[in-house]
Amino acid sequence: MAFRILITGASSGIGREMAVRLAKEKHKIAITGRREEALRETADQIEKEGGKALVLVGDTTDPQTVIRHYGEIQNQWGGLDWAILNAGISLRNPGTQFSAAAYKKTFETNVLGAAYWLEAVIPDMVKAKNGTIAGIASLAGFVGLPRSGAYSSSKSALMVLLESLRVDLAASNVSVVTICPGFIKSEMTDKNDPRDMVFVLDAEIGAKKIIDAIKKKKRLFYFPWPLALPMAWVLPNLPRGVYDFIARRILKRRLKDGKKC
């Protein structure tokens, strides 16, 4: 059975890999992104693999763009079966150089961008009593990571938003899946210091794990286990003083290493 699927942030990375993998199952896939050329490259791969692509160029932080894009999906396909809310950004913002603008930009994309799409797609899914919503959060949402307050707090907000929705929409037979990956190779993670990334996965592997979790309608899925165990279970349950000590040691070591480089 062919599904009608939305993937936001599909210009590259995990978004593109999910689109290509799902195309092999002959699904109809609407892809969004700001970079038209890159988005059309994704569309070409979708069509090559046997799927049907609908290219929607624009910014998820603009609610009018989201309304227009969903209108195009409704006109073409009548609605959606899956909405995979993948668009996101990560801005490094050390507390010593605190920038409210960095938080604003991060939350506009990672939280409000998802919220605009949720506002668009939920009414039709509730009416049809069918649908799956998947939000791509992060293991970083479980704790406040050093130098990553904007990113960690935005992903935490997305996780709580999706958790609330899961309960609210259960009676309407609309499933809500929260995905919390670790490090996945992409343009976003390419900007990170390799020393800060452990158990990093290729986008192809990450895409497969995410799609499998969506198919199984997992309420909360995090991976890879070697990183998920400390991030999702150990660190959040430590006494705050112990967590602060560990985080300060890691930060101190990174800053020291950085001065040597």
Which domain covers residue 249, as residue numbers? 4-260
* pLDDT at position 79: 97
* Contact predicate 22/50, CB 8 Å: no
* pLDDT at position 259: 43
CA distance 250 to 136: 26
* pLDDT at position 260: 39
Check which CATH number belongs to the domain holding 233 and give it: 3.40.50.720
250: tokens are 């890691």
CA distance 125 to 175: 10
β-bridge pairing 52-57 and 28-33: parallel
Residues 28-56 pLDDT 10s: 999 999 999 999 999 999 999 999 999 99
Q: Which amino acid appears at position 9 of this protein?
A: G
Query: What is the number of structural domains in the chain?
Result: 1
Residues 6 or more apart whose Cβ sits within 8 Å of residue 107: 150, 153, 154, 157
Write down the catalytic residue from 116, 151, 222, 243: 151
Residue 243 designated active-site: no
Using left for φ > 0, alpha for ψ between -120 and 50, and beta otherwise, residue 147 falls in: left
CA distance 177 to 175: 7
Whole-structure pTM over 0.75, yes or no?
A: yes
Which ranges of the chain have pLDDT less than 70? 186-198, 253-261
Q: Which helix (H) or strand (E) holds 33?
A: strand 28-33
